[in-house]
Amino acid sequence: MNQTGILKRLDPLALLSFLLPLFMYLLTLAPSVTFFDSGEFITATASLGAAHSPGYPLFINYAKPFTWLPFGSIAFRVNLATAFSAAAACYGVFLLTSHVLKDEEFLAGPLGRFWKGAISLAAALAFAGTPRLWLQSNHDKPYPILAFICGMVFYLMLRWREGYLAGEERPSYVYLGAFLCGLGTGAHQIVVLMIPCYAWLLVSADRRVFLRFKEIILAAAFGLLGFAIQLHLIVRALRKPLLNWGDSRNLTQFLWTMLRKGYPVEPPVRDFELLRFQINAFNVPYEFTVAGVILLFIGLAVLFRKKMYLVLSYLIALGTFLLVIVGYFNTPKETIFLTEEFFTPLYLLSAVFIGVGCYAVIREILTRLPGDVAGMAVVRFTLFAFLFTLPAAICALNYRENDQHENYIAYDYAENTLRSLAQGAVMYTWGDSGAFPLWYVQGVERMREDVLLPHTPHLVFDWYLDTFPDLFANSAIRKLPLEQSAPENNLVVSIQEQLPLRPVYVDFSTRYTVPFAQLVLQQDGIAYRLLPGGSPLAPPADIWPYYSMRGIAPDSGMFFRDLDTGKAILIYASARLEDGETNFKLGNQQAGLRDLEQATRIAPEVIPQVQQILSTYRVR
């Protein structure tokens, strides 16, 4: 086909369903590493290694080529990869919505096609602005690419179903869908929860499809071919990459990683309140507003009469997700927020039905208006503007909360921590958000490679101890039954071994998680050096002028504040409070006052603690 023919087939509205969300995400894209799993994902991608269970090999291999771009930091490039996958998921909404509406009677000729395209674009933009997808789009996350894959498989199953009912055999659609399902496990295993929905689309066309054993075996083979992406974990483990979570060099460790055996959780006793919180992890009103929920129900009602199998497929997917994520997982209240991301494929399907609801409303308005009025340009323009009111409202509600284009807080936190450490030191970390940015800054940006950074919760895994031969090759920890050991006990053993050999530090989280009764903690900014018991109290190190504090102050203009960012800011303020109290103990009143003043500038909510310290030392 010549170039002119290709251009004629390009749908500008379809292109906009990708480009407009991408533009939104680029405006709010994080420029560097962020908190939570970010530093870990970026480090794994840069080294083609493995992130935490289940390893995420598809996301890592998808994002890796973006690290070859000639601009921005490695973190920025991986974040860019996520923005592209999120925009692709929005295109998936456009594709599905336009496909569902293609047989609907709605104006004749090009004008009708334009309206259906505009409705599909509005549905895609509504999905683009949802807080869940937006938060996943502006820094490294595997869920947008998973949502895109789930949407594409849904589309393929629809195409197979329609062809089958029309007397055309299209088994290649099923084989491709099976391959994508297997491949999708490399983004996250929750893709499996969509399989009952896909199976329903097939069996609702003809229940005898389950008797077609040849096709079933071939589909299973294609699924296994896609699942072969998991071999990345084994192949790369043999090369010992920078981040090699689980060290899947053999079958035992591979299954340990795939089955998430490193996260044993005691299921809580379920009550009504816990169940309510668990179910509320899937929250359509929060994502699409109440207006979006109304349009969702309208869309489901319209399709229930004409294409009941689509409504049932959505309900089957929703039921499967709730039965497994809420019922089987029975997630504790403090970690329910982790399950919110799992529902992203369901939000993609919800956006499609919201688009159908928009179509039904506009069609109803146009059919009820007199012909001469309905044809007026001002009426058409008003309806067109109404169509994009919901996407605009969702975008306006969530823009500020998801704008990370100046978010350097995690990067600066890691850099400042490393600046606090003496040459050749070892620093033990505790929380993931405190540790993972350090992994990125040291491992990828090659800062302070003289420092060792063991992560305390992992001191119970042989594979992790193997990554620090200088610390643990001959450690007494090796003689303990690791599967029965507590991380904090192993931490104490390791600290006692390392104190005579090198400077030993712990981060803020470790400082307030583990008691160090026999040791003296000397504060160095936001890190704490451990000294033998009986060491004298020393004045705080004046390291604060060397810290980068971008976006910390409330008036900095950096509006994004998630849970971990807020914790980091409070850590800075609390560390300044401790500095101030130490200075007061040593009689350095002016230095203490300066520290307390800086603490209140960082986080005004610490003012009550400041007042208590001033009262204790009788200082005005």
**For 195-247, what is each residue's pLDDT tens digit?**
999 999 999 988 888 888 889 999 999 999 999 999 999 999 999 999 999 99
Distance of alpha carbon 303 from alpha carbon 311, whole angstroms? 7
For residue 373, what pLDDT is reported? Answer: 62
Residue 268 clears pLDDT 60, i.e. is over it:
yes
- Counting the structural domains of the chain, the total is 2
**For 539-562, what is each residue's pLDDT tens digit?**
888 888 899 988 887 766 667 777
Domain span at residue 90 reads: 11-402
Residue 586 clears pLDDT 90, i.e. is over it:
no
Please report which confidence band the pLDDT of residue 286 belongs to, taking 50, 70 and 90 as the band edges: very high
In a domain, 221, yes or no: yes
490 with 608, same domain: the answer is yes
What value does the mean pLDDT take over residues 126-152?
Answer: 94
Query: Where is pLDDT greater, at 215 or 618?
Result: 215
In a domain, 6, yes or no: no
Final residue of a structural domain among 377, 402, 427: 402
For residue 484, what pLDDT is reported? Answer: 72
Give whole-number Cα distances, 493 to 456, 459, 498, 528, in Å.
11, 11, 9, 18
In a domain, 5, yes or no: no
Q: How many helices (H) and strands (E) does the chain have?
A: 30, 4
Residue 7 clears pLDDT 80, i.e. is over it:
no
For residue 8, what pLDDT is reported? Answer: 44
User: Above pLDDT 70, what percent of the chain?
Assistant: 96
371 with 485, same domain: the answer is no
Tell which residue, 95, 93, 96, 97, has the closest CA to residue 133. Answer: 93
**For 472-488, what is each residue's pLDDT tens digit?**
988 999 888 877 788 88
For residue 374, what pLDDT is reported? Answer: 57
280 with 148, same domain: the answer is yes
Is the pTM for the entire model greater than 0.85?
A: yes
236 with 362, same domain: the answer is yes
364 with 457, same domain: the answer is no
386 with 414, same domain: the answer is no
**For 402-418, what is each residue's pLDDT tens digit?**
999 889 999 999 999 99
What distance, in Å, lies between the first and last C-alpha atoms of the chain? 82
For residue 144, what pLDDT is reported? Answer: 95
For residue 1, what pLDDT is reported? Answer: 45
Amino acid at 244: N
Residue 3 clears pLDDT 60, i.e. is over it:
no
Judge contact between 415 and 568, C-beta under 8 A. no
In a domain, 531, yes or no: yes
The lowest-confidence range among 95-104, 285-294, 475-484 is 475-484
Structure tokens at 81: 């990869």
For residue 384, what pLDDT is reported? Answer: 82
44 with 153, same domain: the answer is yes
In a domain, 300, yes or no: yes
**For 32-45, what is each residue's pLDDT tens digit?**
999 988 999 999 99
User: Above pLDDT 90, what percent of the chain?
Assistant: 59
For residue 6, what pLDDT is reported? Answer: 40
For residue 109, what pLDDT is reported? Answer: 63
395 with 509, same domain: the answer is no
In a domain, 385, yes or no: yes
Note the residue count of the chain.
620
Final residue of a structural domain among 402, 426, 443: 402
Strand partners, 428: 506
Please report which confidence band the pLDDT of residue 536 belongs to, taking 50, 70 and 90 as the band edges: confident
Q: What is the largest CA-CA distance in the chain?
A: 92
Tell which residue, 131, 147, 140, has the closest CA to residue 560. Answer: 131
392 with 429, same domain: the answer is no
In a domain, 320, yes or no: yes
What value does the mean pLDDT take over residues 69-81?
Answer: 94
392 with 421, same domain: the answer is no
Q: Rg (Cα) of the chain, in Å, rounded?
A: 28
Distance of alpha carbon 479 from alpha carbon 465, whole angstroms? 12
Give the angle subtended at the CA of 143 by the CAs of 139 and 148, to the nearest 5°.
115
Judge contact between 528 and 543, C-beta under 8 A. no
For residue 557, what pLDDT is reported? Answer: 67
**For 180-199, what is each residue's pLDDT tens digit?**
999 999 999 999 999 999 99
Distance of alpha carbon 460 from alpha carbon 482, whole angstroms? 5
In a domain, 278, yes or no: yes
186 with 267, same domain: the answer is yes
Please report which confidence band the pLDDT of residue 537 belongs to, taking 50, 70 and 90 as the band edges: confident
Residue 85 clears pLDDT 70, i.e. is over it:
yes
For residue 223, what pLDDT is reported? Answer: 96
Final residue of a structural domain among 357, 383, 402: 402
Please report which confidence band the pLDDT of residue 5 belongs to, taking 50, 70 and 90 as the band edges: very low
55 with 133, same domain: the answer is yes
Query: Where is pLDDT greater, at 235 or 334?
Result: 235
For residue 107, what pLDDT is reported? Answer: 63
Residue 404 CB-density burial (10 A; 0-12 exposed, 13-18 middle, 19+ buried): buried
